[in-house]
Chain A
Amino acid sequence: AQSVTQLDSQVPVFEEAPVELRCNYSSSVSVYLFWYVQYPNQGLQLLLKYLSGSTLVKGINGFEAEFNKSQTSFHLRKPSVHISDTAEYFCAVSRQGAQKLVFGQGTRLTINP
């Protein structure tokens, strides 16, 4: 079985500052990795995903994430955040060949002016 741990439940940052949201996973088989964003009162939207190939994955809205197999991590980063990035962010994994997503607990990103 797979599991995901998001190490921070809340992350407050100032506008234009860099941010890193941390995600660690455990699995005995190869996995795919995802970051989803949930804006207030909306559904989830895919930010980026890692399936194979380059370990640095670029997503929408200037976000990127790096897959680190040895540390079983998939941290999300953005060099300069905006007020509009205020949202909850979910890391998720799925077993290769399967559709089921296993989500982390979520990280609430708050941007202060």
Chain B
Amino acid sequence: EAQVTQNPRYLITVTGKKLTVTCSQNMNHEYMSWYRQDPGLGLRQIYYSMNVEVTDKGDVPEGYKVSRKEKRNFPLILESPSPNQTSLYFCASSRSASGDQETQYFGPGTRLLVL
């Protein structure tokens, strides 16, 4: 089954404790992206990747890091989480990074609480 998976689905942590949220897709997609969803703000892009080893900042990158060492994986790293990073996070992927808009497929989300 074609899908985007995220782990963990739920996470409670404390300020300053490094964490990684994994994202994996099995569709051989070029483009991958991370969004955060906050009430009243919709989804905002954190980082995106056009292909392996090619990543760039989105609209709200502060406090986050990403890497794209393999095509299928795009982990989101919070080196020193803070309470303002409490949010619902979504990973998404699409077939092509260029040309006409490709349908983006979203993962199930990771709900993060930073105390």
Interface residues of A (CB under 8 A from B): 4, 6, 9, 32, 36, 42-46, 49, 51, 90, 92, 94, 96-106
Contacts and interface: CB of A to CB of B under 8 A. Distances in A.
Interface in B1-27: 4
Contacts, number: 61
15 contacts: A4-B42, A43-B109, A44-B106, A45-B106, A51-B100, A90-B43, A92-B43, A94-B101, A99-B97, A100-B45, A101-B43, A101-B104, A105-B40, A105-B41, A105-B42
B33 A99 contact: yes
B90 A44 contact: yes
Contacts of B108: 42-43
A46 to B, nearest CB: 5
B85 interface: no
A100 B61 CA distance: 14
B101 A103 contact: no
B42 A96 contact: no
Closest 9 A/B residue pairs (Cβ): A103-B42, A43-B106, A44-B106, A103-B43, A32-B101, A105-B42, A43-B108, A99-B31, A106-B42
Nearest to B50: A99
A51 B101 CA distance: 8
Contacts of B99: 97
B101 A99 contact: yes
Interface in B27-53: 31, 33, 35, 40-45, 48
B39 to A, nearest CB: 8
Nearest to A91: B42
B2 to A, nearest CB: 13
Contacts of A44: 43, 90, 92, 106
Interface string B76-115: 0000000000000010101011111111101111000000
Nearest to A93: B101
| Residue among B43, B98, B109 with the highest chain A CB neighbour number at 10 A | B43
